[in-house]
């Protein structure tokens, strides 16, 4: 069966999508506008990417080929978080909740721990460290034989990737550094992903080698060839995703500069009108 349905991740994706759409519907019933692009980004592109990563062929082979797992890894931690961040789910949550519930979520966003982990360099360090701990300890092999750890691994890919992406291009109200520092964070993070890909490609002992050899697979690349493919995919994809983040940040920075310029023009116009009126 080449399109198996993994019930736990499928159910989670479905529930989150429905909750987001119900939130949008609530705003519309109150005559509050919500950009269609945000809904498409979160539900269709973001959760759609999560669906492709956790269902079908990738789910069928993610414990058989390291290269397939690596594609899944990149979709969960690099691609989906970009679209989820641009969907502004936290903003939506704050707009649909009222009273004490809204104040509770607002306070969470301003906790010191949130400020620290959302700092781009800190979030980038966590993002970099995460795969090294995963692939070069016994934890990764454990996820291949334990379904609970396997699903938790998927969740932690999403969380770590979202943490980094939200700190860079997220549009939700949370503590965030200036665009210059965020661009610098992307710049210093990129080489580490390339280095990780190269390290995996040249790892002679093999990642979870005992497990993969125990499968006695008679088709496809050998265990070491598969590992080289996986490392190459991570190396190439890391650079591509980094360039996409650079582009997204550059566009956001340009738009922010335009908004600031318009605000300054309005202030100057207002000051000029006040000056003329006082002169009269």
Q: Are 50 and 205 in contact (CB under 8 A)?
A: no
Which DSSP letter does residue 45 get?
I
pLDDT on residue 124:
81
Spatial CB neighbours of 80, under 8 Å, sequence gap ≥ 6: 46, 47, 49, 50, 53, 158, 161
Q: Give average pLDDT by consecutive 10-residue segment, the chain, 280 residues.
A: 74 95 94 93 95 90 92 92 92 89 84 81 84 88 90 91 85 74 78 84 84 90 91 83 79 72 62 59
The first and second tokens of residue 98, run together, are 């009222």
> Are 230 and 66 spatial neighbours (Cβ–Cβ below 8 Å)?
yes
Tell me if 109 sits within 8 A of 173, measured CB to CB.
Answer: yes
Cα-to-chain-centroid distance, residue 277: 52
Cβ-proximal residues to 54 (8 Å cutoff; 6+ apart), any chain: 6, 9, 10, 13, 72, 76, 154
- What gap in Å lies between CA 137 and CA 170, rounded to an integer? 31
How many of the other CB atoms lie within 10 Å of CB of 123?
Answer: 23
HSE-up of residue 236 (Cα within 13 Å, Cβ side):
9
Q: What is the DSSP string of 68-82?
A: HHHHHHHIIIIIHHH
Residue spans of the domains in the chain: they are: 7-248
CA–CA dist 128, 140 (Å, integer): 16
Tokens standing for 31? Answer: 């005559």
Q: 56 with 3: CB under 8 angstroms?
A: yes
- C-alpha of 115 from chain center: 18
Residue 188 is predicted with a pLDDT of 78
Task: Spell out the residues 6+ positions from residue 255 whose beta carbon is closer than 8 angstroms to its own.
Answer: none
Task: Considering only CA atoms, give the Rg of the chain.
Answer: 22
DSSP state of 137: S
Backbone phi and psi for residue 178, each to the nearest 5 degrees, phi listed first: -70, 165
**pLDDT for residue 265:** 56
Q: Which residues of 168-188 are buried (b: 16+ CB within 10 A; e: fewer)?
A: bbbebebebeebeebbebbee
For residue 47, what pLDDT is reported?
A: 96
């Amino acid at each position: 069966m080449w399109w198996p349905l993994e019930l736990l991740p499928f159910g989670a994706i479905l529930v989150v999508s429905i909750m987001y759409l119900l939130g949008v519907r609530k705003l519309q019933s109150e005559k509050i506008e919500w950009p269609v692009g945000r809904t498409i980004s979160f539900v269709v592109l973001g959760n759609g990417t999560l669906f492709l990563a956790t269902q079908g062929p990738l789910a069928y082979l993610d414990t058989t080929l390291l290269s397939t797992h690596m594609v899944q890894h990149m979709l969960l931690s690099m691609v989906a978080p970009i679209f989820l961040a641009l969907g502004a789910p936290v903003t939506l949550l704050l707009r649909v909740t009222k009273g004490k519930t809204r104040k509770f979520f607002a306070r969470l966003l301003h906790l010191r721990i949130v400020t620290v982990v959302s700092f781009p360099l800190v979030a980038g360090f966590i993002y970099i460290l995460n795969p090294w701990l995963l692939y070069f300890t016994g934890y990764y092999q454990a996820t291949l034989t334990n379904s609970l750890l396997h699903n938790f691994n998927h969740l932690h890919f999403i969380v770590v990737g979202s943490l980094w992406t939200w700190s860079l291009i997220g549009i939700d109200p949370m503590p965030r550094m200036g665009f210059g520092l965020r661009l610098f964070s992307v710049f210093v993070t990129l080489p580490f992903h390339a280095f990780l890909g190269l390290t995996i490609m040249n790892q002679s002992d093999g990642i979870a080698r005992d497990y993969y050899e125990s499968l006695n697979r008679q088709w496809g690349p050998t265990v070491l060839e598969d590992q080289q493919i996986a490392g190459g995919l991570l190396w190439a994809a890391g650079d591509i995703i980094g360039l996409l983040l650079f582009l997204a940040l550059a566009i956001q920075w340009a738009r922010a500069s335009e908004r600031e310029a318009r605000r300054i023009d309005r202030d100057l116009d207002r000051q000029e009108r006040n000056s003329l009126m006082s002169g009269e």
